[in-house]
Amino acid sequence: MEKKKKLAEKTAGDRSRVREKEGEQNVKTALGKSSKKSVAIWGATAALLLVATILPAANALEIAPVSEVSLDLPKSAAIVEPVDSVATLFAEDDLSATAAGAIFSSEMALVSTVSRQVELARTPLGAKKVAKSILLNEYGFSEKEYKCLNSLWTKESHWNYKARNKRSGAHGIAQALPATKMNVVSTDWRTNPVTQIRWGLRYISIRYETPCKALAKHKRSNYY
């Protein structure tokens, strides 16, 4: 019995020593991990301090300002020759290469187109061509509507922009009555056949919607 008791005590002691060793080992492991974390934290802190020290110095770098600039120009550069006209000034420049030049070129092209239209419309045949172009391209009407317009204004004025009804005072290709109604388009209606055409198409569009409806009204009442 005593031997068993001693054996049991010895076994219990051995187990106790094993637990103590395991405890010591766990403490060492925990201390090691804590030490590594501390080293990492301190390393990161040192890096941040280093960056904070270096960056201001880098940002403080400045380039010395240039106090004086001298250009050696040839004598001929100081001479400015007068120009006779704007055309001479821009003779060697491509105006369309700049935004302002493109706008200028576009406006000049528009003026040229309008001028050609006015001159063309001074004859009955030319007036028909101008009216047809405006009717189809700007109003979006069909060829059928142009035929109605042709019949209507042939009855009214034979497409003569100087036509004037002595009795009523109606004037122009569309026979506006009174003639001053055309001021809504432009005040040059006495001499500009395109103004008369544009006013006539505007009047038809507002009052009758289409030239064919205006022609139908003319056939019923002998006016539109």
Q: Is the pLDDT of residue 55 over 50?
A: no
Q: What is the pLDDT of residue 33?
A: 52
Q: What is the pLDDT of residue 194?
A: 98
Tokens, residue 171: 């004037």
- Is the pLDDT higher at 167 or at 15? 167
Q: What is the pLDDT of residue 112?
A: 72
The owner of tokens 């001028």 is 115
The owner of tokens 């003026």 is 111
- Kindly report the average pLDDT of the chain as a whole number: 75
pLDDT digit string, tens, across residues 161-176: 999 999 999 999 999 9
Lowest mean pLDDT among 57-71, 120-134, 139-153, 164-178: 57-71
DSSP 164: B
**b/e per residue, 37-73, with b = 16+ CB within 10 A?**
eeeeeeeeeeeeeeeeeeeeeeeeeeeeeeeeeeeee
Average pLDDT for 209-215: 98
Average pLDDT for 86-92: 47
pLDDT band at residue 108, thresholds of 50, 70 and 90?
low
CB atoms < 10 A from the CB of 78, how many?
A: 7
pLDDT band at residue 1, thresholds of 50, 70 and 90?
low
Lowest mean pLDDT among 66-70, 101-105, 130-134, 212-216: 66-70
Share of the chain above pLDDT 70, in %: 50
The H-assigned helical ranges of the chain are 2-59, 86-89, 99-120, 124-137, 143-156, 193-207, 211-221
Q: What is the pLDDT of residue 196?
A: 98
Q: What is the pLDDT of residue 53?
A: 47
List the chain domain ranges: 95-221
Query: Of 3-7, 17-21, 54-58, 102-106, where does the model show the most confidence?
Result: 17-21
Lowest mean pLDDT among 18-27, 146-155, 171-180, 193-202: 18-27
Task: Return the sign of the alpha-carbon dihedral for residues 95, 97, 100, 106.
Answer: positive
| CA distance between the termini of the chain | 142
